Structure 1
C-alpha cells in the first residue's frame, strides 16, 4: 500500500505540474464545450419572425403555436416593405375574414415554413368554424431521444473525447518518460509488484476522468447552456469506467513501443484525433455515407459517445448497456493483451 500510495501521489503531482498536459487534457476540451455551447445553444429555440397587421382568429392561432415571433406593423404597405428589405421573411394581414400572406422567395426554406404554417392554421380555423368533426386526427408530440438540443449532444461527446485524450496521453507519455529516465528499470528491480505500478497509474487516470466529468457536467448545467440530465444518468457510470480502461489500454500500447515523448505524442494524436471526428464527437453522423458509419461503429469512442448520450440525456434503461459495454470491454481486453506482450521495461 505504501508503494501504491507513493506512485499514485507522484502521478497526480506530475500531471498537475505539467502545465501543457493540464491545458490540453482539461482546459482545451472545455473551450470546445463553451464555444460550441454558446454558438449552438439556442439553435433549437429560434422562432420564425413574422410581420403582422391587424388581428383575428388566424393571427391568434398562430400566436398560440409558440413558434413565431410577431413583428407588428401599422399597415399592409409598411409590412410588405419590411419583407422586401429582409427584416422579416414574411408577413400576414388579417381583416374582414381575409388573410393576406406575402413572403420573400429569396429564402425558400423560410418561405416554405411560413406558407405551411399559415396554411395549416388557416385550414384548422376554417374547420373549427364549421363545427364539423375532423376526418383525420393528428397525434403530435416531441421525441426527446431523437431530437436533442445542442448542449445535450455536445456534452457527452466532448466529455468522451476529453477523457479518451487524457487516458491515452497520460498512460503513453508516462511510460515513455519513465522508461527513458530508467524509472521503470528501478521499479522492476525494487520489491514492487508490477500490478501495483499499473494500478497506481490507472487510479490517476480514473481520478482525472472523474474531475473532468464533474467540471463538464457542472459547466454545461449552467443556465447559459442548460444541460439537463435524465433520470437514468447513473447508468452511464459503467460505460464511463470501461471507456477509461479501453483508452488507457491504448495508451499502454502506444507507450510500449514509442521511444521518445515526441513519438508518443504523435502516435497518440494519430489514434485519438481522427477517432474524434469519425465517432460523432462534434457533429452527428446521421447523414454520413454508409461506409463512414461502418468505420465509426468499430471505434471505441463512438460507443462511449453513444453510451453516455443514451443515459445522460436520453434516459434509456439498462438494456442499452449491452452494446457499448461489450464493445469497450472487448477492446480493452484485446488491446491490453497486445500491450502486455510488447511492453518493455528498458529501451533496447
Structure 2
C-alpha cells in the first residue's frame, strides 16, 4: 500500500502538470457545451414562425379571399400591414429581411400562388416548413372552392423514451459528457510518451517498483479524473441550462467504468507507437475530430446521410454516447440487451487496442535490450 500510495501521488502530480490533458478533457468540452447549449437551448420548445411579405398588386375577389385566410395562419408573421409590390418583396427576400414572399393571384381566374425564397436558403428548414404550410393551405382552399368540407385532420404529438420534458439540452449534455471522458482517455496518455522518450519507463523497470501497481495507480487516477468530468458537466448542464437527468445508477456505473477504461486503452495504444508528444497529439486529434461529428454527440446518427451511418456504427464513441444517454436520460435498466450490445462493441475496441498496445510496448522493450 505504501508503494501504491507513492505511485498514486506521483500520477496525481503528473496529471496536474499536464496542461493538454486538462484542456482536452475538461475545458474544451465545457466550452463546446456552453456554446451549443447557448445556441440551441429552448429552441425545441418555441413555436415555429416565419416572416413573410405579401404581394397583391391587382386586388380581386380571389386574392382578397386568400389574403384574408393567410392572415389567419398563426405561424406566419406578415412583415407589412399592407401588401407590397413584387420588386419590393424580392428585395426584402434578397436582403433576408423576410424569410419569403407570397405573390397572390393577379386576377380572379388565376389559380397560382407564388412563393419566393432566397436561393441560399432554398433547402433550409424554414423554407421547407413554409412550403409545407402553403401546400396545406392550397389544399384547403381547393376544398373550399368546390364546396367540400375536410373529413380528416392530422394531429401531431411527440413522446420520448424517457420523460416528456426531455429536450435538446438533455441530449447534448450526455453527448458532451461522453466526449469529455473519451478525450480524457485519448489525450491523457501523453505522459507515457514523454516518460518513454526520456528513458524513465526503462529506469523504472530496473527498480524494485511493481509495474502492475504503477499501471493500477495510473488507471485509478484517470477514473477519478473522469468522475470530475461527469460531475462538472452535469452541474453546468442542470444548474445553468436547466437540463433534466433521469439516472439509472447501476447502468451509469457500468457504462462509465467500461467506457473510461476502453478509451484509456485507446490512448495507451496511441502512446505505444508515437515517438514524440507531437505525433501522439496529432493522432489523438485526428481520431477525436472524426468521432466528434460522427458519433451522435450533437445530433442523432439516424439523421446523417446513409453512406456515413456505417462509419458511425463502428466508432466506439457512438456506443459510449448511446450508453450514457440510455443510463442518464432514459433511465434504462442495466439488464437491457440493447444497452449491453452497444457496450460489447465499445469494450471490444478497448480490448483490441490494449492488446496491440501491450504487444508494441513489449516488442520495443525486447528490441531495446538487444
| Band of TM-score, shorter chain | 0.7 to 0.9
- Alignment gaps of 5+ in structure 1: 52-57, 92-101, 127-131
Distance 1:222 1:120, change over 3 A: farther
Work out the CA distance in 2 between the residues paired with 1:253 and 1:325: 20
Match status 1:310 vs 2:306: no
Instruction: Write out aligned runs for 1:262-341 (5 A).
Output: 262-318=278-334, 319=336, 320-341=338-359
Post-superposition offset of 1:279: 1.8
Work out the CA distance in 2 between the residues paired with 1:12 and 1:41: 36
Matched residue of 1:290: which SS? coil
Q: Say whether the 8 Å CA contact 1:236–1:311 is kept in structure 2.
A: yes
Match status 1:209 vs 2:209: no
Task: Identify the residue that residue 157 of structure 1 maps to in structure 2.
Answer: 175
Task: Identify the residue that residue 180 of structure 1 maps to in structure 2.
Answer: 197
Q: Which moved more, 1:109-118 or 1:150-159?
A: 109-118
Matched residue of 1:144: which SS? coil
Matched residue of 2:177: which SS? helix
Post-superposition offset of 1:267: 2.5
Structure 1 residues 122-173: Cα deviation after superposition (integer angstroms, max 9, x where no partner): 9xxx9xxxxx9x96586642122499633223222222222111112212x1
Task: Identify the residue that residue 190 of structure 1 maps to in structure 2.
Answer: 207
Post-superposition offset of 1:110: 4.6
TM-score, length basis structure 1: 0.75
Work out the CA distance in 2 between the residues paired with 1:41 and 1:113: 25
Distance 1:121 1:252, change over 3 A: same
1:111 to 110, 130, 151: 130
Matched residue of 2:284: which SS? helix
Work out the CA distance in 1 between the residues paired with 2:130 and 2:196: 65
Task: Please give the root-mean-square deviation of Cα atoms over the aligned residues, in Å.
Answer: 4.1
Instruction: Write out aligned runs for 1:35-54 (5 A).
Output: 35-44=35-44, 45-48=46-49
Matched residue of 1:262: which SS? helix
TM-score, length basis structure 2: 0.71
Aligned length: 325
- Alignment gaps of 5+ in structure 2: 53-68, 103-112, 119-126
Structure 1 residues 149-204: Cα deviation after superposition (integer angstroms, max 9, x where no partner): 33223222222222111112212x12112222332223222323222111111111
